[in-house]
Structure 1
Amino acid sequence: GYTYGEETHRLGQEYPDTVHAKSEAPIAKFDQSDPYETHEFPDGMLPGYTGYIPQRKYQLGNRYRTESDACLIGTKAAYEDA
């Protein structure tokens, strides 16, 4: 087998019609601030973070926000019942 780069290069040479041509249209630029520089994330969450959530072992298939909200609700209910 070939590596991904070797295979795509070989296929690009073999089938030149599949190589995308560059457009002559002007590129529109938008002034968008980088949230990593401004530290302005919605609700203090980092986008795309899928890390550890305390008390949520073996929970797979949901987004971090969904699991962290469920964890907070469960923890709050446990403390209120105690």
Structure 2
Amino acid sequence: MIPISIEAYVKKHCEGNPGENPQKLKENLKQAVKDKKNGATCSNCGQEIWAIGSAVAYQGCFSCLTGEVDSSEDYEIKEVCWS
């Protein structure tokens, strides 16, 4: 995954989704980051959640939320990216 700050992601997401409420998205991202740090798992398969996807959908992992396996070109909040 490509690390990105909450602020940078909110800006990028809202540019592509002009109807999105930036403040609400920021709040949801902060909560999803907190949840992930606290060990939240995907409600479908039990894997670690994807904070960005969980902020806009439901608590899920990258694969369950996108149907894809390769997350190498997708973003994740840098606070929860493990190197």
**TM-score, length basis structure 2:** 0.24
Q: Which has the higher contact order (CA 8 A, sep 6+)?
A: 2
**TM-score, length basis structure 1:** 0.24
